[in-house]
Every structure is written in C-alpha cells, then in structure tokens.
Chain A
Amino acid sequence: MIHLAHVSKQYKASTRPALSDINLDVEKGEFAFVIGPSGSGKTTFMRLLLREEIATSGTVEVAGKNLSKLRRSKVAWHRRRLGCVFQDFRLLNNKTVAQNVGFALEVTGKARAHIRRVVPEVLELVGLDGKANRMPRELSGGEQQRVAIARAFANRPLLLLADEPTGNLDPDTSGEIMLLLERINRTGTTVLMSTHDNTIVDAMRRRVIELHLGKLVRDEARGVYGVGR
C-alpha cells in the first residue's frame, strides 16, 4: 500500500531535513502507529503521502502510484482514494454533522442519491446516529473527531491517515477514537496513525514506526511506545 525508498524531505525554510533517508513498506490492511517527539517528522510523513508536499529525493508510492511523478491534475484523484483526520478536526462550523460528511462527497462529484444513502450509514458506523443535524460546536471533542473520521471514511478510502487524532482529547475519549479506528481497520482499510500517546500504543500492540529528528529509528511489528530509545 505504501512504499518509501530513500525518502528525504528538506523544507526550504529549515536547515535540517524534516525526513532523511526513510525506507518503509506498509501492506494493505495493516494498522501502524507513527510515533516520535514533536518535530520528529510525523506530519511531514503524512503530508508526503497526501501529496501536500513532494519528497526532495527518493520514491514515495501509494497504492502503486509514484507520487513524485503524479501530475498536478491527478492529485485530487489521488486524494479521493485516501482519508485523513487531524488533531484539530477541521470541520466546517456552519454546516451540520451530516452536511460536513455530505460536503466531502458532494465536492468529489458523488450523486445526490448516493450521498443520501451513505451519510447516515457512515454516521451510524462512527456512533453518531441521532446527531446528524447537530452543529459541530454542539458536540464534544470526541464527537467532533468522529465526524471527521466519518467524513474521511465516507468514500471508503484504501488508506486512512490520522495525524495525532487524539492529541486534543482526554484519555477515555482517545480510547474510544482508537477503537473506532481499529473497527475501520477491520473493514480492510489500511490505517496509519501518528501519536504521542504511550498508553494507546502500549495497549494496542500494533506495528510501531518511530521517527526521531527525521530518521526512522525503529520499525517493530508489535511494539510499545517506550522501548527502543
């Protein structure tokens, strides 16, 4: 699903590379954590996969496509095969829960009838049935993140990228979000989640990819947060 070979990313404004010489493969259907302290390059990694940034050198392949060679006009098409979730939810505050999810489908050209059918389904999947007509500000943080996940999952992506999705949530709510991501992973979607949260990582016993100052320092099939440093 994901293949990185000798990938480095150097931002123009910064002196040290945000990522350097990363080699990595993630198989279809895997669940992997990306961990590391702030500034270690987790977000940069996600942005490369989203094709928000282009690697300075090396090859980034997602679902068989080399992103460095992807034409600009194909970027939108590429992103439709991905879903992404962020720490700050990124919901539209003037739209209801259902409209937020529907918006993503609408702007990618899905038919009205399809949207009417899919939105309630996916809201039910994330446990928000009954809250479809709420506004985001009427929801808790955890619920807002569920909306974001519903939006990311609505078009059944091959790969779900979650960049510190629990960063703004309390431990209990974080646990619920984790379970939700795990449920999504069980539908066959590859999930990549970056986090600081050691309890989650330790509890899950999933693959751990650890970055430090832009270098890949650990890649362990059933890792915990603390070991290896």
Chain B
Amino acid sequence: MFADVLRGLRRNVTMTIAMILTTAISLCLLGAGLIVARMTDQMRQIYGDKVEVTIYLNEKVSSQDPNCQAKTCQALGDALNKDSDVDRVTYQSQSAAWQQYQQMFAGQPEMLQIAKQSDLNSSWHVKLKDPQQYKVIQARYQDFPGVKSVNDQSQTLDRLFNVLNGIRNATIIVALVQALAAFLLIANTVQVAAYTRRTETSIMRLVGASRWRTQIPFILEAVVAAVAGAILAIGGLVAMKYLFVDKTLGTIMNAGILPPIDGTALVWVSPWLGGIAVGLAGIASYATLRLYVRL
C-alpha cells in the first residue's frame, strides 16, 4: 500500500514537490507564529508578578543621600508605606543600582564603559496591590520633591508584548494565506491525479471497489506529501533557531529578558504542525474527490 502511494506521488513529481514546498512554507510560518505566541504566554507568567513601579530619585538626592536618611527621601518612603494602593516598597541606593548594572552586563565590557555609578539614580521600588493602578501612582508621586521620574516596567513590557503579538499575527496571517494556497494546490493535484488515473479508478468501480476504497489512495498521497511538508517545516524551524534566533537574540535571551526558545518549544509545536498537515491534506483531498471528481 505504501509503495503504491509513493508510486502515485512519483507519477507527478513536479506537482508533488510544489505541494510539499507550499505546505512546508505554510507550516513553517505557522510554527514560528505558534512559538512566538507561546513565548508571549511564558513571558506573561515570568514577568506577571514581578512587575513593579520604580520611582527614581533625582541626581541631587541620589548622590548626596545614598542611604536615604535625609528628609526628602524619608518623606517619600513614608508616603509610599502609608499608601493603601501599595503592597510593598524597597529602597535601592545608587551603589546597589550600580552593582546590579555591573552584574547584568558582566560579559559586556562596552556596556560597562559607557556608564559610571553617578549616572545611575537611587530609587524606590514599589510593588502595587493591583499592577493596573500604575497611572494613579504615577500621578500621585511624579511631582513629589526629589522625584526624577516614575517608571513602570509594565509599560515597557507592553511595548515588547505588542512587538511579539505583531510578529505572531503577521506570521500567522501569512501562514494562513499560504495554507489556502496549499489547500488549493492539493485540491488541484488530486484532480489531476484522479484524471490521469481514471482508467484505474473506473476499473476499481466496475469490479465493485467501494467509493471509499477508490478515494483512499488519493487521500493517502496528499497526506503523505503534506506530512513530508511538515517534516521539512520542522527542519526549517530547527535551522531558524540555531542559525538565526540563537545568534541574533541569544544575548537578550540569556539575560532573561526574552524567554529562550529551546528544544521543548520545537517539540511542543511539531505535533501541531503534523496534525494540521494531515488535517489540511485530508480535508482538501476528500472534499475535492467528493465535489469535483466522479469516481
């Protein structure tokens, strides 16, 4: 049976290759889209409960009152501690910020050279009871004496999420258009195959083969070609990860800003792509045989 399927596919090599490639491109894009979507979800989880508002103190307070003992800094700290929207506050001095900076970019001397301790500000890190209330906190504290700026990480994160969602949507839309092309190509290939093998199918019907038995070789051929496409697509994703993503985005992933795309993401997406390939080819070929081919 499998030998027959391969023979069927070989009979029209050009169409088979076109079918495999179109399916592969579609599934590769879809796979990339799914991986980005999964990454976004993981990021929401990673960052979700760590998001905090940072109130930076101005240069004067930062350098002259490193341990937050003077009135300006204390007053701000008291106000925050009493604020009913605030869950928890911690103080980070200029030297602590500098230490953190040095740790973060330990491997990158150029990053260490462009900054010095006095460029950084001491700050109050505020964890909100409800992270959505960030606007209220900003309005309340940005004009407080000694405050330089109020910065919300979730804003930066949202921008990152927007970029990722954009990438996800774009790849999935292109993938769907490509999937439509694959669908039509499969439909057409099945029609051509059914036409070139009409003697065979008419004999099958004549000797009493069921309609289903007559159709199944065409469906199997389409499914096998689509699965070949899915395997190519998975190969493409693996190549993309090692040759492109790891090289260009490796540093920010290692720094923990983006969750890494590791083997599990590829293992997770592969059965999806395989399943979609089988479904797409199965439906396209079956519908074509039902609607356009008289067997």
Contacts and interface: CB of A to CB of B under 8 A. Distances in A.
Interface of A: 50, 72-73, 76-82, 84, 90, 92, 103-104, 107-109, 151-152, 155
B203 A108 contact: no
Contacts of B208: 76-82, 108, 155
7 cross-chain pairs, A with B, having the tightest CB-CB distances, nearest first: A80-B208, A79-B208, A107-B209, A104-B207, A76-B210, A107-B204, A76-B208
Contacts of B205: 76, 79
A76 B206 contact: no
Contacts of A50: 206
Contacts of B207: 79-80, 104, 107-108, 151-152, 155
22 contacts: A73-B210, A73-B211, A76-B208, A76-B211, A76-B213, A77-B208, A79-B205, A79-B207, A79-B208, A80-B207, A80-B208, A81-B208, A90-B199, A90-B203, A90-B206, A92-B199, A92-B200, A92-B203, A104-B207, A107-B214, A108-B209, A152-B207
Nearest to A100: B203
Given A72-B211, A84-B206, 6 more contacts: A76-B209, A76-B210, A77-B208, A79-B205, A90-B206, A107-B209
A80 B205 CA distance: 10
A189 B214 CA distance: 27
Contacts, number: 45
Nearest to B210: A76
Contacts of A79: 205-208
Contacts of B206: 50, 79, 84, 90
B199 A109 contact: no
B213 A107 contact: yes
Contacts of A90: 199, 202-203, 206
A209 to B, nearest CB: 22
Contacts of A76: 205, 208-211, 213
Given A77-B208, A80-B208, A104 B203 contact: yes
Contacts of A80: 207-208
A128 to B, nearest CB: 18
A76 B164 CA distance: 55
- Most B CB atoms within 10 A — which of A76, A80, A151, A152? A76
A90 B205 CA distance: 12
Contacts of A151: 207
B11 to A, nearest CB: 10
A16 B206 CA distance: 27
A229 to B, nearest CB: 32
A78 B205 CA distance: 11
A76 B202 CA distance: 12
A151 B208 CA distance: 12
B81 to A, nearest CB: 79
Which interface residue of B199, B200, B206, B214 has the most chain A CB atoms within 10 A?
B206
A153 B199 CA distance: 20
Question: Which residue, of B206, B208, B211, has the highest number of chain A Cβ atoms within 10 A?
Answer: B208
Nearest to B214: A107
A12 to B, nearest CB: 15
A80 to B, nearest CB: 3
Contacts of A77: 208
Nearest to A92: B200
A109 B200 contact: no
A77 B211 CA distance: 11
Interface in B169-207: 199-200, 202-207
Contacts of A107: 204, 207, 209, 213-214
Contacts of A152: 207
